[in-house]
Amino acid sequence: MNAQNPVKKEGTVLFCDIRNFTFLFDQRDPFEAVEFANNVLAVLGEVVENHQGVVDRFTGDGFMAHFGFDKLLPDHPEKACKTAIAIRKKLNEINTKRYLNVETVLAAGLGLHTGEAAYCKIETNQLEQTTVLGDTVNTAARIEELTKHFVVDVLVSEASYQLLKENFKFQKMPEREIKGKDHPISTYWLLPINL
């Protein structure tokens, strides 16, 4: 594996986790599972792209996206926040259909963090992928994990909050320790009143 020409840039990383996705996925035969994934992950990925974000990778039950690393995007925190709001709306649409079809409704947790990271190309003999690496990515992932602890859907870091607080409504959450940090961090819940 080889990391090619890393460039240090500032941007915003968004992690999205679909709750119980693996369980719902495993209940289907392989062809139904692919259709289910397309009906959820691909649709939410389009929401990211519609807000000038990049879906960096799909995970088993969600995805990582980033804003402002691949191109100049001065309002990357706002684009990421508007994406989170749009994902909320899209999940409501998906859930309306699922509810009417007597299917399990879906919930998601999203974590956003703004900071510097290495934007680079990773190469192996069989794979070439452009990605974002660094503490900003890890912190966004840990913040997404805190959504389960606080039982909320969207949390942003202190760094993101400072850039977003004038245009969006938040509620400060109690400080929590996360893996990889030597001190508790502050997070903020993006309130559902944001449209």
Domain ranges of the chain: 2-190
pLDDT-based confidence at residue 4 (cuts at 50, 70, 90): low
- Say how far apart CA 187 and CA 121 lie, in whole Å: 31
- The DSSP code for 106 is -
Q: Which CATH number fits domain 2-190: 3.40.50.2300, 3.30.70.1230, 3.30.390.10, 3.40.50.300?
A: 3.30.70.1230
SS3 call for 192: coil
Q: Is 124 exposed, middle or buried (0-12, 13-18, 19+ CB in 10 A)?
A: exposed
Do 118 and 133 touch, CB atoms closer than 8 A?
Answer: yes
Percent pLDDT > 90 in the chain is: 70
pLDDT-based confidence at residue 3 (cuts at 50, 70, 90): low
pTM, two decimals, is 0.93
pLDDT-based confidence at residue 38 (cuts at 50, 70, 90): confident
Take residue 150 and report the two structure tokens written for it: 């606080």
Whether the predicted pLDDT of 184 surpasses 80: yes
Considering the chain, what is the average pLDDT of its residues?
92
Percent pLDDT > 70 in the chain is: 98
Take residue 153 and report the two structure tokens written for it: 């859907």
